[in-house]
Structure 1
């Protein structure tokens, strides 16, 4: 089992990760994790932990993780949008078939404002794409 462990562990956080080097080659034969860096996905920064200098292998592992993480987050973003479309459809059906007057009163203004805002952004972005395509 110990040999199956990766050399680096990334503890994911909201903007990136804490990076640990996994050590199984110690005298107690325990898994030890030594923090080597902090990664920020949003701005691409990698800060070595403490007075450390990252090895070329460590820097490469971090770069690979950052690229894989960015790809995963992009996939999740678009999946969330597809789910939002589904939720809008389900909300439409709920409003038409099951919602009480009190429930509709509670959510109508918030939904109308959110949909108006979304519609404005989508129409503007669509027009920008059409204008760009015509050039």
Structure 2
């Protein structure tokens, strides 16, 4: 079957995973997967399944998975934002060079509202960061943020 079988399998579900302990050493030479816990990515909580007691190794493996999964999701979110910037550039080019009046009429309000919302959030968050860093001491800095 598989050469190196991991000790744990994480079945993804919304906001976490169902954790299985993978067992490959049994009489029938079959792969066994025993559900041992539910891992919550949002709050980092690990709930054992049923009356099961998790070993320190179980907890360590699950915590490592949570950390790696959260880091991967954070990276994907940044990648998504950068892809969106690329798409916005492509839409601007399309709108200027190829879009027909009817097409622009169909999408303009949606795009304008979404861009206004995004801009408002980004400007507010940038202002918050500057205030926390003590960098919003002058009106010039405030004007540059907006």
Question: Do the aligned partners of 1:36 and 1:48 also contact (CA within 8 Å) in 2?
Answer: yes
Q: 2-side partners of 1:25 and 1:2: how far apart?
A: 13
Q: Contact 1:37 / 1:48 at 8 angstroms: preserved in 2? A: yes
Normalised by the length of structure 2, the TM-score is 0.87
Rounded to whole Å, the distance in 2 between the matches of 1:25 and 1:3 is 13
Consecutive unaligned residues in structure 2, runs of 5 or more: 136-146
2: CA distance between counterparts of 1:123 and 1:3? 51
Deviation track 1:85-105 (CA, whole Å, cap 9, x = no partner) reads 001101111111111111111
Aligned to 2:22: 22
In 1, Cα distance between the equivalents of 2:49 and 2:7? 17
Which residue does the alignment assign to 1:36?
A: 36
Aligned pair 1:78/2:89, yes or no?
no
What is the aligned partner in structure 2 of residue 102 from structure 1? Answer: 102
Q: CA deviation at 1:21?
A: 0.4
Q: List gaps (5 residues or longer) in structure 1.
A: none
Higher relative contact order (CA 8 A, sep 6+): 1
Distance 1:53 1:29 in 2: 25
Corresponding pairs, count? 135
Where does residue 63 of structure 1 map in the other structure?
63
Q: Distance in 2 between matches of 1:37 and 1:22?
A: 13
Q: Which runs of 4+ in 1 moved over 4 A?
A: none
What is the distance in 2 between the residues matched to 1:35 and 1:126?
A: 44
